[in-house]
């Protein structure tokens, strides 16, 4: 899932975060169907929450990130 840092409408950084998701279909015979469906339901709920989340950074932290990337 890509994560962007946006300042004044301009993207200044982009990072690709690997998924923390297990593929429920791979374990086909080892799990019951109801457990598979429950796992997929939880994963889709967490995915919706992750899409809505925002991170608030203090000005001090933001400036330190910019100082590191500019050096």
- pLDDT range class, residue 70, cuts 50, 70, 90: low
Q: Any idea where the domains of the chain sit in the sequence?
A: 23-71
Round to whole Å and give the CA distance between 42 and 22: 11
- pLDDT range class, residue 71, cuts 50, 70, 90: low
User: What is the predicted pLDDT for the residue at 65?
Assistant: 80
Sole residue written with tokens 């200044």: 12
What does pLDDT average to over the chain?
Answer: 78
Round to whole Å and give the CA distance between 60 and 24: 42
Model confidence, pTM: 0.39
**Is 70 exceeded by the pLDDT of residue 26?**
no
User: What is the predicted pLDDT for the residue at 25?
Assistant: 63
């Amino acid at each position: 899932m890509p994560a962007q840092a946006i300042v004044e409408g301009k993207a200044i950084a982009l990072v690709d975060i690997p998924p923390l998701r297990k593929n429920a279909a791979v374990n086909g015979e080892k799990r019951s169907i109801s457990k598979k469906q429950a796992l997929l339901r939880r994963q889709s709920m967490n995915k919706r929450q992750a899409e809505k989340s925002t991170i608030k950074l203090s000005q001090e932290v933001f400036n330190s990130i910019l100082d590191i990337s500019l050096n």
